[in-house]
Amino acid sequence: DTEVTQTPKHLVMGMTNKKSLKCEQHMGHRAMYWYKQKAKKPPELMFVYSYEKLSINESVPSRFSPECPNSSLLNLHLHALQPEDSALYLCASSLSGRPNTEAFFGQGTRLTVV
């Protein structure tokens, strides 16, 4: 099983809303990631959790708040987003706790901020 599951698949939210994206993997992977991908661009790393601890924050605005409740779950809390935050948000995981190794991606949450 090489599956990373993300919910919801689509999300439309207003600029004053609070919402959360969820990610789950049961592969025993020790690192989990959030990426943001704009159309026709490669994924951009946002956050890395290694062994359930936040190890990398790529200078992401505080309106994005990650959370790792346990080794299988990863959340991304969203608050007061801007229309330019509309994108495909991807969760990924890797067996190693290091962020520079092969990563398995979920199908993404397509977020639209109105």
Partner 1 sequence: QKEVEQDPGPLSVPEGAIVSLNCTYSNSAFQYFMWYRQYSRKGPELLMYTYSSGNKEDGRFTAQVDKSSKYISLFIRDSQPSDSATYLCAMSSGSARQLTFGSGTQLTVLP
Applying CB under 8 A, the residues found at the interface with partner 1 are 2, 4, 6, 40-43, 45, 48, 56, 58, 88, 90, 99-108, 110
Residue number with CB closer to partner 1 (10 or 70): 10
Of the pair 46, 81, the CB lying nearest partner 1 is at 46
Q: How far apart are CA 41 and CA 107, in angstroms?
A: 16
- In the complex, the smallest distance separating the C-beta of residue 110 from partner 1, rounded to whole angstroms, is 7
DSSP structure class, residue 84:
G
> At its nearest, how many Å lie between partner 1 and the CB of residue 65?
20
Min separation Cβ 103 and partner 1, Å: 7
Shortest Cβ 91–partner 1 spacing (Å): 8
Strand ranges for the chain from DSSP E: 4-7, 10-13, 18-25, 31-37, 44-50, 53-57, 64-70, 73-79, 87-94, 104-105, 109-113
Contact between 57 and 42 (Cβ < 8 Å): no
Considering the complex, state which of residue 45 and residue 80 has its C-beta at the smaller distance from partner 1.
45
Pull the structure tokens for residue 104.
């398995």
- CB-wise, 40 or 53, nearer to partner 1? 40
